[in-house]
Amino acid sequence: MEWVAALSRFAGSRLGSYRLVRALLLPAVLAACGGSGSDGTTAGSNAPAPVPAPASPAAEVTVQEVTAQLSAPWSLAFLPGGSMLVTERRGSLRRVAASGQVSAPLAGVPAVYAVGQGGLLDVVVSPGFADDRTIFFSYSEPDGPDTSRTAVARAILGETAISDVQVIYRQVPSRPGSMHYGSRLVFDREGYLFITLGERGEQERAQDLGTTQGKVVRIRPDGTIPPDNPVFPQPGAIPGIWSFGHRNPQGAALDPATGEVWVGEHGPQGGDEINRILPGRNYGWPRITHGRDYLTGQPLGEGTTAPDVEAPLHYWVPVSIAPAGMAFYDGDKLPGWEGSLLVGALAGEMLVRLDLQAGRVVAESRHLESLGERIRDVRQGPDGYPYLLTDNGRLLRVVAR
């Protein structure tokens, strides 16, 4: 990245040139950095001191390969009986048997905008799947030749196809570009659906309640808005917004202890965050952040804290691990891991385990770095083991060494 720093110093001397260079090269910088590497990364939390190493010994882990026959997988959902649904970013939805056998793509998936970070993204099953066979999935929906938006659809799962596809939510407005779709889906205990939405690379939109860029929304499974959602006083605020001030939240999970949704989101150069998502709260981006500008290396925003901004539970500085899918682990197959939050890292190429006590992050440990894999999704299987998807097309089971 030395060429980026040199170019930044040159461009920074002329504001107009800087803006032009940034507009032309930022997508390439993001692709080259991958959210920044993990070497030298330190972590922070809602405690003032640095996060210590785990106080008690926990299982060392390795992986068992279920399959390596996937193509750019993005999300994993378990079905009754131990088989799985896997989305592939380019637009395929496949079944994977517990044995690792991968099906042909299921028919009926709508067209996706599979450009940059866009494509077929998250998938979850209905809380009543055993009776209704309903699945929910998110994707970047094309809307004209050069614009797209995050959309969420529901459908009925069959053996070789999905049917009765109905779009229940669309991000507004549709935007050009192919970055920061967010797009994780989580059902809460009451059966409401939470959707994470990136700001599509337009930072200030995260604070604008007249768009759903950089927001978490909460809807019913039919797409309607629950009556107890936050009501914002700002004129033009869009119904359905649960929280705002997010950058690119690509991880989300339900805390089994409290029923609250936690979100992992990408910062820029440093400043990745884990947040507890509370109704009506502002999570700061881009006004309050621990991150730095990709090109100049200068701090972004007004500072790292503000009275009206919810502080992250955990964050990574000075560089990012690029957190992706995450899951709370409440299985019994990995001693010492019970109650942890597991976070997949893309740029960091590892599995991060966060020890929790009373809703606080008290320790961090890092695992599977020797794999050299960008970990895209993390799910707990019905057998009590964590499962991982990697960008290289692998589905892995995490087991004790």
396 backbone dihedrals φ, ψ, rounded to 5°: -125, 145
Among residues 180, 290, 314, 367, which one is catalytic?
180
- The letter for the amino acid at 341 is L
DSSP string covering 5-48, please? Answer: HHHHHHHTTSHHHHHHHHHHHHHHHHHHHTT---TT-EEEESSS
Q: How far is CA 200 from the centre of its chain?
A: 14
Rounding to the nearest 10 degrees, give the CA dihedral for residues 205, 210, 211, 216. 90
Contact between 141 and 115 (Cβ < 8 Å): no
Amino acid at position 367, single letter:
H
Known catalytic membership, residue 314: no
Report CA 347 to chain centroid distance, whole Å.
13
Instruction: Say which residue the tokens 């390795």 belong to.
Output: 62
| Terminal-residue alpha carbon distance, the chain | 36
Please report the sign of the dihedral spanned by the C-alpha atoms of residue 171, residue 176, residue 182, residue 183.
positive
Active-site residue list = 180
